[in-house]
């Protein structure tokens, strides 16, 4: 599966179809697929070798036909979204750069990476590229200054992650509270429900903005880490990559459910005593 599969499908329907959907609010056979990143683990280790027949997906309680499952086949789009506000200095900055380099070292051929940094402004250090050396250089050149726009930066990271084929992994690091974003956290959380980017967030410091980042990670099927010290940041970034890569990408075409609104997702693996982690749902329609 090399072509991008849109996460939210109702938006792609033509106007007449939207009218029809209003009268009969179910998806037509023309709707496109929903893609869900799923982590299946047992005792902390990924479970391998599963196929479409092993998964059960319920969209708003309606069982769906699983069409496609891929495992470690799609390249990754890793968007490093890193806080470069005033407070990221000294050892914290060194640890952050080391962690970023370590993560880039763990990428494979075909994977792409980008660097987004943020203070009060959001900056693109390096656009999505397979040239990881370029991203490393950008990481080394980033210098801290100013306030914190973590909400705007998370939105930017998700949009860049969506911009290309591949599985979008947004890794956010912040050690502060949002002080200068234009977007409200609620707006970005709502957009996250429409996105298939998965956000892993690391927040550091005594009063970090864990609330927003925790919710964002949860909404996208990712995970959040709240840490006191950045000493182990490198290990956390590696752990994120190790957890994300062996996730399954499960795809289905929704049937028998409303075209609009919030769709609650339930993903199970048949006959296995395993932990399943996926985003809790998605938002469709305008």
Partner 1 sequence: MNTTCRATVSSLATACLALTLAAPVSTQPGATKPPGAQTAAVHSPAAQPAKSARWLQKLKSWLQAVGEHAPGEADGPAKQVGRMTEAELEAVRADLSALVSIHQERRAVVVRYKDEPFTLSGIETLLGLTGEAAARSDANRILKRAAILHGDVAMLVVPYGSDPAGCSTQLARIVRDGNLVGSVCMGIHWAQGRALLDATLPDPRKDQMVELWYEATIAFLIERSDYANAVRQIDHAAALFPDAPGLLFEHGCYHESLASRGIQTAVQASGTGDRSASAYLKEAEGLFRRAARSKPDFVEARVHHGAVLGALRRHGEAADELRQAIAAAPEAVLRYYAELFLGDEEQALGRKDSAGAHYREASTLFPLAQSPWIALSALARRGGDRVESLSAIRRALDLPPSQRGRWEDPWWAYHTWFSRDAVTLFRDLYRPFVAGVRQ
CB of 18 to partner 1, least distance (A): 11
CB of 239 to partner 1, least distance (A): 26
Q: Which stretch binds partner 1 (CB under 8 A): 21-29, 48-56, 59-67, 151-159?
A: 151-159
Q: Which stretch binds partner 1 (CB under 8 A): 60-68, 145-153, 221-229, 248-256?
A: 145-153
3-state secondary structure of 69: strand
The rounded distance, in Å, linking the Cα atoms of 269 and 250 is 11
Q: Measuring CA to CA, which residue among 233, 80, 37 is closest to residue 171? A: 80
The answer to whether residue 129 forms part of the interface with partner 1 (CB under 8 A) is: no
The answer to whether residue 206 forms part of the interface with partner 1 (CB under 8 A) is: yes
The answer to whether residue 197 forms part of the interface with partner 1 (CB under 8 A) is: no
Q: Which of 1, 6, 60, 238 binds partner 1 (CB under 8 A)?
A: 6
The rounded distance, in Å, linking the Cα atoms of 154 and 188 is 8
3-state secondary structure of 198: strand
The answer to whether residue 179 forms part of the interface with partner 1 (CB under 8 A) is: yes
The answer to whether residue 121 forms part of the interface with partner 1 (CB under 8 A) is: yes
The answer to whether residue 45 forms part of the interface with partner 1 (CB under 8 A) is: no
The answer to whether residue 215 forms part of the interface with partner 1 (CB under 8 A) is: no
Q: Which stretch binds partner 1 (CB under 8 A): 15-23, 38-46, 143-151, 226-234?
A: 143-151
CB of 68 to partner 1, least distance (A): 21
To the nearest 10 degrees (0 to 180), the angle between helices 150-161 and 185-192 is 20
Which residues fall within 8 angstroms of residue 57, CB to CB, at 6 or more apart? 36, 63, 64, 66, 250, 252, 265, 266, 267, 268
The answer to whether residue 95 forms part of the interface with partner 1 (CB under 8 A) is: no
Sheet with 198-204, edge to edge strand ranges: 122-129, 112-118, 76-83, 167-174, 198-204, 223-227
CB of 207 to partner 1, least distance (A): 4
Element of type H or E holding 238:
helix 233-244
- The residues that touch partner 1, with contacts defined as CB under 8 A, are 6, 8, 10-12, 85-87, 119-124, 145-148, 152, 155-156, 159-160, 162-163, 176-183, 185, 187-188, 190-191, 194-195, 205-207, 209, 211, 285-286
């Amino acid at each position: 599966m090399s072509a991008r599969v849109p996460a939210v499908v109702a938006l792609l329907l033509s106007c007449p179809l939207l009218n029809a959907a209003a009268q009969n609010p179910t998806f037509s056979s023309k709707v496109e697929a929903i893609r869900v990143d799923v982590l299946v683990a047992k005792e902390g280790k990924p479970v391998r070798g599963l196929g479409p027949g092993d998964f059960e997906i319920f969209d708003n309680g309606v069982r769906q036909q699983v069409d496609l499952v891929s495992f470690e086949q799609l390249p990754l789009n890793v968007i490093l979204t890193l806080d470069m506000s005033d407070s990221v200095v000294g050892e914290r900055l060194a640890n952050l750069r080391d962690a970023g380099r370590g993560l880039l070292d763990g990428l494979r051929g075909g994977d792409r990476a980008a660097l987004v940094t943020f203070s009060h402004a959001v900056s693109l250090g390096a656009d999505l590229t397979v040239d990881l050396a370029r991203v490393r250089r950008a990481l080394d050149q980033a210098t801290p200054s100013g306030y914190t726009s973590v909400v705007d930066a998370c939105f930017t990271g998700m949009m860049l992650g969506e911009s290309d084929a591949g599985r979008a992994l947004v890794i956010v690091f912040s050690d502060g509270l949002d002080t200068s974003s234009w977007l409200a956290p609620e707006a970005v959380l709502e957009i996250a429900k429409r996105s298939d980017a998965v956000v892993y967030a690391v927040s550091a410091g005594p009063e970090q903005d864990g609330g927003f980042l925790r919710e964002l990670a949860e909404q996208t099927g990712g995970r959040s880490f709240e840490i006191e010290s950045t000493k182990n940041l490198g290990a956390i970034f590696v752990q994120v990559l190790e957890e994300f890569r062996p996730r399954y990408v499960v795809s289905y075409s929704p049937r028998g459910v409303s075209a609009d609104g919030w769709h609650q997702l339930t993903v199970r693996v048949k006959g296995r005593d395993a932990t399943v982690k996926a985003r809790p749902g998605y938002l469709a329609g305008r």
